[in-house]
Amino acid sequence: MNEGKAPSNKDTKKRKEYTPRKITPQRLANIALHYLERYASSSENLRRMLERRVYKSVHHHGEPDSETSTQWIDDLIKRYQEAGLLNDLAYAETRARSLMSRGTAVRMIRIKLMEKGVASDTIDEALNALSDEAPNPELHAAIKLARRRRLGPYADPAKRAELKDKHLAAMARSGFSYDMAQRIIECDDKDELEELIS
């Protein structure tokens, strides 16, 4: 009697344990450049990523010491800032714009930027810059969220009344105040909302 399928070759082979390469200043620079080619990053976010890579290497190879690796990372960050590869304000402005256009509340944008290690004054500048794109960034984001999630006037008219509380809750979970959520969800004309963000 067959009690199950036979193990595959993948299951029977022992998995080769991954050993990270030893960290050197050049290796660290290569890792950082590869990361920056693929992702936009704040200086602090890049620092954290590099510190994780150093930690893995030290765990296997025992070196470099903490002071040396910190100096290597500091030097890289400074070099990339001077070269323009790292610019926290540009990163924060781009990320804030992207999040607003996806329907993220300003309060949540602030939290997400803080999680990436962006300084408070830089976040303030980035959020102020949103006003250049939308006179009321919070309203703009709320309308974008309602459109994307089909909330309020974007929902099926036959189901709007029964979904009202659910839609208000969705707006609240996304970081919008009750007043803002109510303004969007209770609006009868989606064209009126579209005019506000056009």
Taking every pair of C-alpha atoms in the chain, what is the biggest distance, in angstroms? 72
Task: Check whether residue 122 and residue 172 sit in a common domain.
Answer: no
Q: Which residues of 57-77 are buried (b: 16+ CB within 10 A; e: fewer)?
A: bbeeeeebeeeebeebbeebb
Q: How far apart are CA 178 and CA 157, in angstroms?
A: 22
Of 68, 83, 98, which residue constitutes the final position of a domain? 83
Alpha carbons within 13 angstroms on the beta-carbon side of residue 5 total 4
Q: What is the mean pLDDT of each run of 10 residues along the chain (198 residues)?
A: 54 61 90 95 96 86 82 96 96 96 96 97 96 92 96 93 94 95 93 88
- What Cα–Cα distance (Å) separates residue 117 from each residue in 20, 42, 73, 77, 100? 26, 7, 15, 14, 19
Residue 18 lies in a domain: no
The CA-atom distances, in angstroms, between 109 and each of 44, 54, 137 are: 17, 30, 11
Within-domain flag for 191: yes
Q: Which amino acid is at 50?
A: L
| Same-domain status, 75 and 121 | no
How many domains, the chain? 3
Q: According to the model, what pLDDT value does residue 1 have? A: 47
Q: Quick check: is 5 in a domain? A: no
Residue 143 and residue 107 share a domain: no
The single-letter code of the amino acid at 129 is A
pLDDT at 16: 61
> Both 192 and 142 in a single domain?
yes
- Quote the radius of gyration of the chain (alpha carbons, Å): 24
The pLDDT score that the predictor gives to residue 174 is 93
Containing structural domain, residue 54: 25-83
- pLDDT at residue 3, as a whole number: 53
pTM as predicted: 0.81
93, 73: one domain: no
Give yes or no for a contact between 143 and 197, defined as CB atoms under 8 angstroms apart: yes
Residue 17 lies in a domain: no
Task: Say whether both 108 and 126 belong to one domain.
Answer: yes
Domain contains 93? yes
Residues 104 and 125 in one domain: yes
Domain for residue 106, yes or no? yes
